[in-house]
Structure 1
């Protein structure tokens, strides 16, 4: 059973959205919009806790914090 977290701001509603850990505008400025698959060796890679993940795009869940805010 998955336990839902409450929004850390209002502490009332279920946290159903997440903010980017890295600013999306910075990622878009560096790599552009759309899919990053076509960038080949220049496709950005995210490293966290010893795990390496290729970014699919600027809105990739891997560069977002856990859901901690309500809409």
Structure 2
């Protein structure tokens, strides 16, 4: 996810959080999403924050939470 967000930042440095979430959703596979969701469910947010350890952590958490509980 970090690499994707950095790519987006280069092409669109003013992207909103919603645009970032949409971009990551479009660029990731269902298998990757399942693995990330499983990791989040198995651990706590603190573990994910430590794993990501960068300024994109809030967007990354928002993406994962969106995958867990998608809006209907």
TM-score by length of 1: 0.25
Higher relative contact order (CA 8 A, sep 6+): 1
Pick the structure with more strand per residue. 1
Whose helix fraction is larger, Structure 1's or Structure 2's? 2
Larger Rg: 1
